[in-house]
Chains A and B, each alone.
Chain A
Amino acid sequence: MADAHTSKDNSTLFTSLGRLAPQLKPIIWPLIWGLLSALAASVVALVVPQVYRVLVNTALQPGNGTKGLWTGAAVVLGLGILEAGLIALRRQFVIVPATTVETRMRTSFYRHLQSLAVEFHDRWGSGQLLSRAMSDLNFMRRWMAFGAIMLVVTTLTVVIGVSLMFSMSWQLGLIFLAAAVPIAIFGFRFRLSYGRVSRKSQDQAGDLATAVEESVHGIRVLKAFGRGPEALDSFAGQAQELQATEIHKAKSLAVFSLVVTLLPELALGSGLVDGILLVSAGKLDVGALVAFFATAAVVAGPVESMGPLMAMTLTAKTAIDRHFEVMDAVNTVTDPASPVALDSARGELEFRGVHFRYPDTPAATRDVLDGINLTLRAGETMALVGVTGCGKSTLLSLVPRLFDVTAGTLMLDGVDVRQLTLSALRTHVAVAFEDTTLFSNSVRDNVLLGAAEQPGLSPEDVLEQALEVAQASFAYTLPQGVDTLIGEEGLSLSGGQRQRIALARAIAARPAVLVLDDPLSALDVNTEERVTERLRSVLESTTTLIVAHRPSTVSLADRVALLQDGRITAVGTHSELLAANSHYRYVLASLTEEPRDLDSHLETGLGEELAEELGAGKEAGA
């Protein structure tokens, strides 16, 4: 289990439930009406034995007419209808408001998650988040609409029932009440232990969901290595842990139920003997004794349900805790209080003494980015070169503020990017990542996702242009053309195809600053060459920061920056660096180790036609 969501058990039941209060405020009246209906239904159920009492003592005595009986039966019938009506009414009052609150909490949970920084999402598995968005909130709604109300009603029913029993015979009532003391003590202990297991089980369920998510997203790897059985074993292990927790939870509830039902019943048993003795001594009439036990029978149900309701309340507490744990997470990348307006950016990008370290890095390690100084002139294309894992992608993710610098400043047109609203910044900056994420949508919608309005061009033109530049015109040959559904829910594309769509998306955005993270890695040589050629003309007026692993990509750039040990150690043109910098040569030059015999046969002229044909082959195939 990730450390991110280990339980904090220091919140008490009431503070946790209290956090729901603001949510409940708008629906407080329906809830109260619902409560009153439920209460009334219970009172009605309690009144019925009183009618029996009167009947036994009057109408059913020998020699009386049938009129009393008719009236009695009618009253019982009326009360019965009333009870059913009130039960229906409770639901009517409560259901819609409760589901509305649930939905509101669910959507604000989602919004909050979307706003939380990438750093948060790196720590939390989506399965764990999902279990909070779905099962926890479902549970909370059910507790709100049923558990909470029934708990109040049940408690009140027991109190009223016991008072009635007192009114019939205080001696018997006292015996019954004596059972309550040990129950209260035991209930306190139960609350602590049950709360703990219920938290554990919900966390484990969330982790299990994460395991399922990974097993599906990583299915190719699992299949390629034939590790299905191992994945199954580890999943089964996790599922068994959850099973053990659940059984432990059930046991603890069973013991509590045992105590809660046994003690009152024991009290009733002694009450029965005592009651009969009292009646025979003439201190109590038969009707009262009968009514006492009839009332006890009505109270028995609620008493029995105290255990499960208590358990439900504790589980709801856990659900609420888990919900607010995420809601309380502070968004570390936020809009400034008074943003600077930057209507049209020229695209000058400056890193000034930029430092960055991931929040959970141990103190001793040096920063990933350790004082970056780099300026991109407006419209310039800068390639970023460095060995695998030296922080290139990290550097790029600072530009659209997926992460914030930990020291120094990053400026767009002389304005600190933290001074701009996120939406303004991300309008000016478009990104294509090395992991291409396409959404379940048509090709068109994916490409035009962040597309800017361009005067004189219809969206269709923008789409066509972007696809053309990215050499992604294969999209037109898909089954439904550019309306073909792609992404998770749709047609699966090859790595190269995905990459080109993602590139087209970045291009269509027509940003002032374009950030490309090795955007051509999955393309074959010919396609790459054509993309490069077209990109060069498009990038002329766009400031571009592009991560490059190959000379071919570097050739796009006006200048190259070399990232080494968290700093920019050299900036210059490709040939300058190639001549002057040995690390640069190490990173980018590859020809030195080539076997000689290949060279000797190398043809100088390039079969243009042939290459064209090869590249433009059946791209939509696989």
Chain B
Amino acid sequence: MSTTTGTANEDRVELSKADSKAVRQRSVRLLRTLLRPVRRRFIITVVLVVLSQAAKVSGPLLIAYGIDSALPAVRSGGNLLPLLVTGGGYLLAAVASSWLTATYLTATARLSQAMLLDLRIQVFRHTQRLSLEFHETYTSGRIISRQTSDLEALRELLDSGIADLASGIIFMVLTAVSIFSLDWITGLLVLAAAVPMYFLSRWYQRRSQAAYRSSRVVSARLIVHFIETMTGIRAVKAYRREKDNAATYDELAEDYRRVTVRSINLNGIFQPGLVLIGNVAVAVVLLVGGFRVLDHGLAVGALLALLLATKRFFQPISQMAMFYNSFQSAQAALEKVSGLLEEVPTVLPPRTPVPLPRAQGHIRFAGVEFGYGSGPAVLPRLDLDIPAGQTVAVVGATGAGKSTLAKLIARFYDVTAGSLTLDGVELRQLSIADLRRAVVMVTQEAFLFSGTVAENIALGNPAASRAEIEAAAREVGADGFIRALPDGYDTDVNKRGGRVSAGQRQLISFARAFLANPAVLILDEATSSLDIPSERMVQDGLHQLLGGGSGPGGAPGRTALIIAHRLSTVAIADRVLVVHDGRIVEDGSPAELISGGGRFAALHGAWRDSLV
């Protein structure tokens, strides 16, 4: 397997020949898959381009015809017909060519936007699908850079590139045909110019590849730093990081400038080089043609038409150079994007899911082992049975493996060995939709998305009505502060809940969980920032939600796994698990454990002492 699979080593600029080939192929493959669904539109666009170029090329031919045929006809006997044909033809060609040009410009935009949208959504969906394991090492700044500046490079290629290339090639082909039809010797001369052009392009390709690759790498670094500063601006200010940050950013921006200049300068040799070759060809055509005119082998009008056509033949060259330039840039960008897309989620939805429309909430760990990546086992071997409706508190020191337990049930990670079932069905066999409906986890970091408070709560259940949303907020005791906000439930929480305190954010995320109303609820240190009255309120709500023994009509309550270092939560638990070094060292009802005098009893004592 190549060392450049996925996002591994994506910051490397100098690649071995094989790696370089592999990533380029990957990027071209991505471009092709993007083209496939829009190939019909692509063909239509190309046809439009062909037609518009055909109309354009007919201009000089008509002029030549006018001077060589219509003019003598008018002069010799006042025959106006050829003149009318010329004039009418020219007008017709003009209308056709500009109308077609406008049409293909729009068509290109549609094409390129369709492909961009496709890729944007692909990248977004893929990053959402990738497991947390991936997100913990691949920073948000990088993903943002893939989604913005890398896509921007592709957009440049698609926007102008495709039309430039198609129109360029077709224009050149048609002009070449018209040159050949007028005079094949000139045609050969023009073709000969292709040889030096080929070598120049090869040279450019090799050099610009590395330049653009490093440009992608450096711009990603710049973006990562930028995002980190802006999202952590409070800490930046409080610790007076401004100067150091500015120095770092200056350096990164200067690096970025340098690689940009490098790539532009390569283009600065490439493009004039192509113009030069074209101009030399024109001079040669003039010389050779001129001799033949003197020998009466060629009419003056024909020579002029040939010169104009030759000049025109090379006109799209600088456009083509630009296309090639943006192609190189886009390819470097797609190398990175395709690498991201190549990353395989470690937690995959099943091929043939077992349906579980109504989960009861019975969880069973049988011989479960787990370790992060290739690291040491965090859970060496775990057997645990949580019957439906039970409320389980998990306690233990930081790093004992409590959160790991929770993350396994939420299937943020898959077990390395053994089986983990919900109502007898392996978690990996459940469709993501069924799993997420059945199991919901509330974490310590309560992230709010931009939008209103109501929208943030509705994340728990997008189908919920406003009344249900408010009811959920009331249950967790968030209703009061939400109503006190400037626009109540419609208050915009803005960037990262700027105005909402950490405790309030936790309440909102609790309301989310209440609204989601899952069969299994996992709370991972979810009350850490709450004050005591709020926590009490949440617990009352929780008590009701979990069906705390008094569920209406004997309905089985919800299964809950509560991880908390504040043992107040334990009060509502039916059962306590004490985890130590990835093993369950104590298991029993709170009363049993306290009287047992083990670790939990000690912890509980310490906690009681801390309360006064």
Are A and B part of the same complex?
A: yes
In the complex the two chains form, is A213's CB within 8 Å of B227's CB? yes
The winner among A205, A280, A487 for most chain B CB atoms within 10 A is: A280
Tell me if A11 counts as interface (CB < 8 A to partner B). Answer: no
Residues of B close to A607: CB separation below 8 A: 601-602, 605
**B268–A286 CB distance below 8 A:** no
> Known: A77-B280, A107-B250, A518-B502. Is A69-B237 also a contact (CB below 8 A)?
no
Q: How far in angstroms is the closest Cβ of chain B from A73?
A: 4
The digit string for B461-498, where 1 denotes a CB below 8 A from any CB of A, is 01000000000000000000100001000001011101
List A residues 231-282 near B (Cβ within 8 Å). 231-232, 235-236, 239-240, 243, 246-247, 249-251, 253-255, 257-258, 261-262, 265-266, 268-270, 272-273, 276-277, 279-280
* Cβ contact within 8 Å between B242 and A617: no
Bound form: Cα–Cα A524–B105 in Å:
63
Given A430-B238, A590-B532: A496 and B398 interface contact (C-beta under 8 Å): yes
Q: Is the CB of B279 within 8 A of A95?
A: no
From B83, B254, B265, B534, give the contact of A91 (CB < 8 A): B265
Find out whether the CB atom of B132 lies under 8 angstroms from the CB atom of A219.
Answer: yes
B346 interface residue, CB < 8 Å from A?
A: no
Question: Is B66 touching A276 in the complex (CB atoms < 8 A)?
Answer: yes
Chain B residues closer than 8 Å to A590, beta-carbon distance:
532, 535-536, 568, 611
Q: Does A318 contact B (CB under 8 A)?
A: no
A-B contacts, 14 of them at CB < 8 A, read A48-B282, A69-B287, A99-B260, A99-B264, A121-B495, A134-B226, A219-B128, A221-B509, A226-B432, A250-B105, A258-B99, A427-B240, A521-B529, A614-B580
A449 adjacent to chain B (CB < 8 Å):
yes
- List which B272-323 residues lie within 8 A (CB) of chain A: 272-273, 275-276, 278-280, 282-284, 286-287, 290-291, 293-294, 296, 300-301, 303-304, 307-308, 311-312, 315
Find out whether the CB atom of A602 lies under 8 angstroms from the CB atom of B235: no
Partner of A80, one of B71, B87, B279: B279
Q: Of A109-117, A182-190, A371-379, which binds chain B? A: A109-117
Number of B interface residues at 8 Å Cβ cutoff, please give it.
Answer: 200
Contact B227 A126 (CB under 8 A): yes
Cβ of A460 to closest chain B Cβ, rounded Å: 20
Among A216, A429, A527, A587, the residue within 8 A (CB) of B398 is A527
Do the beta carbons of A209 and B144 come within 8 Å of each other? yes
Contact with B along A37-75 (1 / 0, CB 8 A): 000000000001000100110011010101001101110
A418 adjacent to chain B (CB < 8 Å): no
Contact B602 A614, beta carbon cutoff 8 Å = yes
For the complex, count residues of A whose C-beta is within 8 A of B: 197
Which of B283, B495, B610 is close to A76, meaning CB atoms less than 8 Å apart? B283
Q: Which of B214-244 contact A (CB under 8 A)?
A: 219, 222-224, 226-242
Per-residue contact bits, chain A 93-107, to B (CB 8 Å; 1 contact, 0 not): 001100110110011
- Cβ of A124: which chain B residues have Cβ within 8 Å of it? 495
Residues of the A chain whose Cβ atoms lie less than 8 Å from the Cβ of B398: 494, 496-497, 523-524, 527, 617, 619
Report the stretch among A15-23, A164-172, A288-296 that lies at the interface. A288-296
- Nearest CB to that of B231 among chain A residues? A126
- Shortest distance between the CB of B204 and any CB in chain A (Å): 14
Chain A CB within 8 A of B612 CB: yes
Interchain CB contact (< 8 A) of B501 among A70, A243, A388, A426: A388
Residue numbers in B under 8 Å from A95 (CB-CB): 261, 264-265, 268
Chain A positions within 8 Å of B135 at CB level: 216, 219
Q: Is B606 within 8 A of A232, CB to CB?
A: no
Check if A586 is an interface residue, CB within 8 A of chain B: yes
Residues in A whose Cβ lies below 8 Å from that of B94: 262, 265-266, 268-269
Q: Output the least CB separation between B278 and chain A (Å).
A: 8
- Check if B101 sits within 8 Å of A84, measured CB to CB: no
* Residue in contact with B449 in the complex, picked from A2, A214, A254, A526, CB distance below 8 Å: A214
B98 touches A289 (CB 8 A): no
Q: Would A220 and B445 count as touching, CB distance under 8 A?
A: yes
* A-B contact number at CB 8 A: 569
> A130-B226, A261-B101 given as contacts; is B397 within 8 A of A619 (CB)?
yes
The 8 A CB mask of B581-612 against A (1 = contact, 0 = none) is 10000000011001101010111111111111
Q: What residues of B have a CB within 8 angstroms of the CB of A610 in the complex? A: 599, 602
Q: Is A414 an interface residue (CB 8 A)?
A: no
Residues of A close to B24: CB separation below 8 A? none
**Which residues of B lie under 8 Å from residue A402 when comparing CB positions?**
234, 237-238
Interchain CB contact under 8 A, A254 and B106: yes
- A125→B228 contact, CB < 8 A: no
Interface string of B192-208 (1 = CB under 8 A from A): 00000000000000000
Chain A 342-359 near chain B by CB (<8 Å), digits 1 or 0: 000000000000000010
One of B33-41, B112-120, B172-180, B182-190 at the interface? B112-120
Identify 5 new A-B residue pairs, CB closer than 8 A, beyond the known A213-B140, A220-B443, A434-B529: A114-B237, A265-B90, A265-B93, A427-B240, A606-B605
| A276-B500 contact, Cβ under 8 Å, with A87-B271, A134-B148, A400-B237 | no
Assess whether A84 is in contact with B272, with CB atoms less than 8 Å apart: yes
- With contact pairs A549-B532, A601-B595, A614-B602 given, residues A88 and B268 touching in the complex (Cβ less than 8 Å): yes
- Given A59-B290, A273-B87, A297-B60, A587-B608 contact (CB < 8 Å): no
A551 touches B445 (CB 8 A): no
Q: List A487-510 residues whose CB lies under 8 Å from chain B.
A: 487-489, 492, 494-497, 505, 509
Write the chain A residue with the least CB distance to B114: A243
CB pair B603 A265 closer than 8 Å: no
A615 at the interface (CB under 8 A from B): yes
Name A358-390 residues within 8 Å CB distance of B. Answer: 358, 360-362, 365, 386-389
B459 in the interface (beta carbon within 8 A): yes
CB <8 Å contact, B441 and A224: yes
Q: Is A440 an interface residue (CB 8 A)?
A: yes
B residues less than 8 Å from A393 (CB atoms): 501-502
A209 touches B237 (CB 8 A): no
Q: Are the C-beta atoms of B290 and A55 separated by less than 8 Å?
A: yes
> Nearest Cβ in chain A — how far from B364, in angstroms?
21
The smallest beta-carbon distance between B284 and chain A, in angstroms, is 8
Q: Is the CB of B447 within 8 A of A218?
A: yes
| A588 contacts chain B at the CB level, 8 A cutoff | yes
Q: How far is the CA of A255 from the CA of B113 in the complex (A)?
A: 18
B63 and A602 contact, CB distance less than 8 A: no
| Nearest CB of A to B261, in Å | 5
Which of B385-393, B400-408, B552-560 contacts its partner? Answer: B400-408
* Residue in B95, B230, B609 with the greatest tally of chain A CB atoms within 10 Å: B230
The answer to whether B397 touches A254, judged by C-beta atoms less than 8 angstroms apart, is no
**In whole angstroms, what is the CA distance A96 to B257 when docked?**
9
- The distance in angstroms between the C-alpha atoms of A247 and B114, with both chains bound, is 10
User: A73's contact among B141, B241, B283, by CB below 8 Å, is which?
Assistant: B283
Whether A135 lies near B152 (C-beta < 8 A) is yes
Taking the closest CB of chain B, its distance from the CB of A305, in whole angstroms, is 10
Report B-chain residues with C-beta under 8 Å of the C-beta of A550: 532, 566, 610-611
Q: Is A253 in contact with B105, judged by CB distance below 8 angstroms?
A: yes
Query: Is the CB of B127 closer than 8 A to any CB of chain A?
Result: yes
Q: Is there an interface contact between A222 and B235, defined as CB atoms closer than 8 Å?
A: no
Q: Does B43 contact A (CB under 8 A)?
A: no
Instruction: Check A601 against B443 for contact (C-beta < 8 Å).
Output: no
Which A residues touch B103, using CB under 8 A?
254
Given A60-B290, A134-B149, A276-B71, A110-B249 contact (CB < 8 Å):
yes
Least Cβ distance of A108 to chain B in Å? 9
CB pair A85–B279 under 8 Å, yes or no, is no
On chain B, the residues within 8 Å of A551 by CB distance are 610-612
Distance between A62 CB and nearest chain B CB, rounded to angstroms: 7
Partner of B149, one of A135, A218, A427, A598: A135
Q: Does A404 contact B (CB under 8 A)?
A: no
B235 & A439 in contact (Cβ 8 Å cutoff): yes
Is B109 engaged at the interface, CB distance under 8 Å to the other chain? yes
In the assembled complex, which residues on chain A have CB atoms less than 8 Å from the CB atom of B97?
261, 265
Against B, the Cβ 8 Å flags (1 = close, 0 = not) of A605-622 are: 111001100111111111
Answer yes or no: A595 CB below 8 A from chain B CBs.
yes
Q: Interface centre among B74, B140, B271, B280, by most A CB within 10 Å?
A: B140
